[in-house]
A and B are shown apart, each in its own frame.
Chain A
């Protein structure tokens, strides 16, 4: 495969390292001094220039390329490069690194014509909540004014739940008002019939009420003790993303930020977090706020050394579980030496996610899940539809699933005896190639 990589920083280098053996790589960076070492170490061609311009992209051979990985540290050039590439070569696939969550959301809503957007903040937040044992939904889509949610979960390898996981679905105690829409295992999707079961390591897609989605979250989490109080040091972008993620899981979050204005800004943005304007290394403060009693602390300050010191201090004060966000690859070892429980490298995570897309057809599908393979339809049933007044148990089995009905503004999660009425709004989860068929039938 011919791959063009924009950006030769930490993420770019990691990507190159992982892909240079099997693929033909061209690396573009504005800073020539970063390209030199890279080209000595690996057999890649390099171009010094702005990857977000047509001339440079053409020079890099975008017309013959199969994949563009735009992973410079700045969002907008990455996006422009991807869009230009798509125009110059409609067959190229483009993956983009973006830090701004807005772009990620725009991509989810298909307003950005790229194949994958990876946000280091979100990846980090997800990794942190996974290590804390509160697996956040990978993605949540909301329908019918929030009454219906479609949620994507990764089932933990360690999840050993009794009533749902590992049992045939017809026997599993699935939370009320929810349905399993799809199970992704390895590189294929399993149609969730009654005899199928959810296994550890699967990725499941669930349609249900917000409450059911919460129940699913705790089922997936397995047996670990539930966290209720977490301290996040540093209210930078990563710290905020982590805090947001945890808050959404209903965990109490306290944030410590030394910059006054930043603290104020974050306090305004996150009404549910308690934000302190403090350095986090003042023993009086730690004592007064009983920081030592919180279950876990995450160190997301900008400086690895500061994180190191604060984490050690927090451990002295009695914090049980510490997670450090690292910025330099070498710091991982330092933190491990210092007794920090987990060290997370956002750039590493981002690079991994980008590489996975290039490498592994399975993740490719997962990434495409919302994009190409499956669609969620929100349609109103016409009176002349042949399915009107049919009981749900008698509806033909086609692999599509009616997840919910919105009748008179209220969401109903249908059972076998329920009947489809004209004028119902239905939320249908279906394979993309069947979407037209489903729309016609209704």
Chain B
């Protein structure tokens, strides 16, 4: 008996343990401590609308308090190595939404009374997914609605990245942390900057885009171009557009706004789908030609154009819309779904089967690496297609040596393998998720068609948001059973941290010294 206890103690000593859990927890604590400040925003909005700020104040104090507690308990600050990075990212994306859900529960709002529902909404917020369990969005208090929007903005560019950018003397070792959170295989990018400088640039540009869109939309409202837009709507939608989130303060999503507003939103979403590091370089170095030569950008634009065209033909063919309206809905929906934003300018659930299949297909593309979008990302598709071409070449010429290239630069085989692993895991998870939803719907006897299950799995894993059927853009995920919601929470979480950091935690070699 005594022997076992001693053995246990030894097992948990840091030297025999490959991961410094205390150091990881310390960083998580610090992030939570700072996150508590974020509740100032919805509290102020609540005050401005004569609503109670207490749910936010309480939640903020709880978040910071918990953060400080964890920091204290984890002892002195220790160095985060690449290995701890995975744990930090995985933990943060699980824990932050827990605290983000507090205002939903504390507000006493009936739609969000169930903890699973509140957590679902919060995860969907922070992961910038945009799937909602609300059935009557506009019934929510304004402060709470703005918190929903704001969580997407906080999560869009990444909480850890924000922490790196603003926290002083955060001893973060290695790029693993930043790379785990920044969407997409950005290893192909040759980063010569320090991690902090990279984080600052990302957030600076992110902030800039948000301010620009909010300003523009406010202006539309002020000069009467769009009567549906006030400062509140402008800011709220700027948050979720640039974050490629998809939450709206309106029940009808973007359909509530004038065509001009929709075009503007679509444009900003498309821009936010470009690699931010490249975008930043464009703004600083001003070499549009080099920027436009980027192969990922080209394929991204091509895919958006192709998707728009197919949707346009489909809409036109079924005679639902014509002229500018047909073009607008096609382009808006292609951008919104492919970049994984998930806004709707029209109820695409009503469109024909070709459009439905096209839209679900687009969910698997995502936008560029290093953007705020979810899903697989264009560059991974590009690399895999190059890999396939090489395989074909090598069957004819077995001795040929052909590095896979991106923008004419050779890509490391390690990156290729990681991309391959990611896509396999992604597809596997999608299939498993869809299956789980179908099985669960049989168990609790809810009406879920296979297509609805497939689209819901794709939409949550890809951080898109709305799916088809009752979970469509004007619908809600509310009818799903609690267990289905848990499945989708996991999918959103895995999708946001890009699977590998989580999967790695479940391997034995990760925990070994």
Contacts and interface: CB of A to CB of B under 8 A. Distances in A.
* Chains A and B bind each other: yes
Interface of A: 257, 260, 263-264, 266-268, 271, 274-278, 285, 288-289
B144 to A, nearest CB: 54
B395 to A, nearest CB: 12
Given A275-B400, A278-B399, A288-B398, 9 more contacts: A263-B401, A267-B401, A267-B402, A267-B410, A268-B410, A274-B400, A274-B402, A276-B399, A285-B399
Interface string B400-423: 111101001010000000000000
B397 interface: yes
Nearest to A235: B401
A275 B399 CA distance: 8
Chain B interface, DSSP helix/strand/loop, else mixed? loop
A277 B408 contact: no
Contacts of A271: 405, 408
Contact of B401 (A275, A288, A289): A275
Chain B contact-residue range equals 10 to 19
A285 B400 CA distance: 11
Top 3 nearest A-B pairs by Cβ distance? A268-B410, A276-B399, A278-B399
Contacts of A278: 399
Interface string B169-210: 000000000000000000000000000000000000000000
Q: Which residue, of B399, B403, B410, has the highest number of chain A Cβ atoms within 10 A? A: B399
Nearest to B410: A268
A324 to B, nearest CB: 22
Contacts of A267: 401-403, 410
B400 A276 contact: yes
Contacts, number: 33
A344 B103 CA distance: 81
8 contacts: A264-B403, A268-B403, A268-B410, A274-B402, A275-B400, A277-B399, A285-B399, A288-B397
B255 to A, nearest CB: 44
Interface in B363-417: 397-403, 405, 408, 410
A264 B401 contact: yes
Contacts of A257: 401
A317 to B, nearest CB: 16
Nearest to A278: B399
A144 B408 CA distance: 23
Contacts of B408: 271
Contacts of A277: 399-401
A257 B399 CA distance: 10
Contacts of B402: 267, 274-275
Nearest to A276: B399
Contacts of B403: 264, 267-268
Nearest to A145: B289
B186 to A, nearest CB: 20
A257 B400 CA distance: 10
Contacts of B401: 257, 260, 263-264, 266-267, 275-277
A278 B401 CA distance: 10
A264 B402 CA distance: 7
Contacts of B398: 288
A263 B403 CA distance: 10
A267 B404 CA distance: 10
A303 to B, nearest CB: 20
Interface centre among A257, A263, A276 (most CB of B within 10 A): A276
A74 to B, nearest CB: 29
Contacts of A268: 403, 410
Contacts of B410: 267-268
A278 B410 CA distance: 21
